[in-house]
Chains A and B, each alone.
Chain A
Amino acid sequence: LVQTNGLSNSLNLEKATLTTSDSGHCTAEEAFASEDETEESSCLSTEDEDSENEEVIRKKFPESFQVAGGQRLGSENLTDETSDVEDLLKEEEDYKEENNYSTETSGALKWKEDLSRKAAEAFLRQQQATPNLRKLIYGTVTEDNE
């Protein structure tokens, strides 16, 4: 934290100098810049560690995501992976809390379920809606005739 604070301070300083640099103090600016570089490099190393941790988490997330997606689509191609998948699911029981967003997305992807069935339903609904005109005009008698 101290380091980052120092960095931010130095950055602020740099900005300040940059803003003032218009007046023409070139030498001072260069000096500051060299100092900053050393500090930044040290900072970056700590940041890298954090990012690595994140990557570990990320690796697990997409897998779980794929698994969920695969099951929903009902595709049998992933039979080989199912065992791994199950293991992953067991492992990730701890993550359930954090994975809340994935359950939300499953809700969002619900429209993809049974697309062909929905299309068939829409078609039938349309079919039923069209001859209504004759029924509307002549009443229900036409249904008996047809």
Chain B
Amino acid sequence: MATQAHSLSYAGCNFLRQRLVLSTLSGRPVKIRKIRARDDNPGLRDFEASFIRLLDKITNGSRIEINQTGTTLYYQPGLLCGGSVEHDCNVLRSIGYYLESLLCLAPFMKHPLRIVLRGVTNDQVDPSVDVLKATALPLLKQFGIDGESFELKVVRRGMPPGGGGEVLFSCPVRKVLKPVQLTDPGKIKRIRGIAYSVRVSPQMANRIVDSARSILNKFIPDIYIYTDHMKGVSSGKSPGFGLSLVAETTNGTFLGAELASNPQGQGAAVLPEDLGRNCAKLLLEEIYRGGCVDSTNQSLALLLMTLGQQDVSKVLLGPLSPYTIEFLRHLKSFFQIMFKIETKPCGEELKGGDKVLMACVGVGFSNLSKTLK
């Protein structure tokens, strides 16, 4: 993987994680220029620097060069090493920001990754740990990444701006990935959720549950929303509350939606009733978009399809998110993989928004590091 290939060059701060992750997996160095070059505060942000440090921790032999202003980054990836790692994530972004990339890399480590991440577990920007646990992990299982040690646990909850949460993620390694054929999402069979509250009245979570149920009860009887009130050390440094909902279909597809309260001292106070109702509506929107993979995990599914064995993989997705579209372009430049994209207009059996059937032949990526062990 550390073969000397010609480097790819990009400009701008967007999609930094995508580029670094794909660079690590493909072994091609990247050079990113003009990172916020015209900004009042130019260069890499603290959370991006933290992400690069995390990459440095889980790889062996990476070369990272950043210029003085932080506007240019050169990254020559090393081998994915894994093992037991701890990382303090920046509180500007939630742990989900780091975890999303780790989910892409973890199956290809030399040693099974066992990482403790500290920081913000739930915020309003990134997918929370709860949603990733409920949607991304079952998706990885479809690709054959499974086992006893495959877990994601919220040890402590931390809300912005203080953070103070802690997450344990451990993932087994696989030599090859199974190709998948996910073309029928099935029907919604149950809805599960977690209403969490930290450093506020435990009643908040109950109020969220009641209001979310007021909308969802009309559609399906099998709803269970857990209330998770963490106290003391495990409640982090800042108050807050939120809700994450996951709809499971008969064919094992998980569609997630979530909302969190405004961080302390930022924006108007959010009523738990409004939050519950809006989150339920977001879940309905996600179900309308549909597909076999929800919109937060589209790019993860496409990556794992690309890295699969040399066999055809098919996945039915909802409308592609802008992030996914850019990810497809990156997959093309890093792996020379172009997907067959077929629009499936919503017909009789496919209700909701227009679906897209994505198909590709895997590049036959195998975890070389593992065979060396």
Contact = CB atoms under 8 A, between A and B. Distances in A.
21 contacts: A130-B343, A131-B341, A133-B320, A133-B341, A133-B343, A133-B356, A134-B338, A134-B339, A134-B340, A134-B341, A136-B325, A137-B320, A137-B325, A137-B328, A137-B329, A137-B341, A138-B328, A138-B329, A138-B332, A138-B338, A142-B338
A120 B356 CA distance: 25
Interface of A: 130-131, 133-134, 136-138, 142
A141 to B, nearest CB: 9
Contacts of A137: 320, 325, 328-329, 341
A131 B329 CA distance: 16
A134 B340 CA distance: 8
Contacts of A130: 343
Interface string B309-352: 00000000000100001001100100000111101000000000
A138 B340 CA distance: 11
Interface of B: 320, 325, 328-329, 332, 338-341, 343, 356
B276 to A, nearest CB: 36
Contacts of B341: 131, 133-134, 137
B217 to A, nearest CB: 37
Tell me which of B325, B341, B356 has the highest count of chain A C-beta atoms within 10 A of its own C-beta.
Answer: B341
A16 B19 CA distance: 93
Contacts of B338: 134, 138, 142
Contacts of B339: 134
Contacts of B340: 134
Given A133-B320, A133-B343, 12 more contacts: A130-B343, A131-B341, A134-B339, A134-B340, A134-B341, A136-B325, A137-B320, A137-B329, A137-B341, A138-B329, A138-B338, A142-B338
Nearest to B328: A137
A131 B342 CA distance: 7
Nearest to A130: B343
Tell me which of A130, A131, A137, A142 has the highest count of chain B C-beta atoms within 10 A of its own C-beta.
Answer: A137
Contacts of B325: 136-137
A49 to B, nearest CB: 62
User: What are the 4 A-B residue pairs with the smallest beta carbon separation, nearest first?
Assistant: A134-B341, A133-B341, A130-B343, A137-B328
Contacts of B320: 133, 137
Tell me which of A136, A138, A142 has the highest count of chain B C-beta atoms within 10 A of its own C-beta.
Answer: A138
A80 B121 CA distance: 85
Contacts of A134: 338-341
Nearest to B332: A138
A70 to B, nearest CB: 39
A133 B320 CA distance: 10
A136 B332 CA distance: 14
A4 B339 CA distance: 84
Contacts of A131: 341
Contacts of A136: 325
Tell me which of B329, B338, B340 has the highest count of chain A C-beta atoms within 10 A of its own C-beta.
Answer: B338
B345 to A, nearest CB: 9
B316 to A, nearest CB: 14
A138 B328 CA distance: 8
A134 B329 CA distance: 11
Nearest to B340: A134
Nearest to B326: A137
Contacts of B329: 137-138
Contacts of B356: 133
A90 to B, nearest CB: 53
Nearest to B338: A138
B103 to A, nearest CB: 23
A142 B339 CA distance: 11
B322 to A, nearest CB: 11
A140 to B, nearest CB: 13
A130 B343 CA distance: 7
Nearest to A133: B341
Contacts of A138: 328-329, 332, 338
A136 B329 CA distance: 10
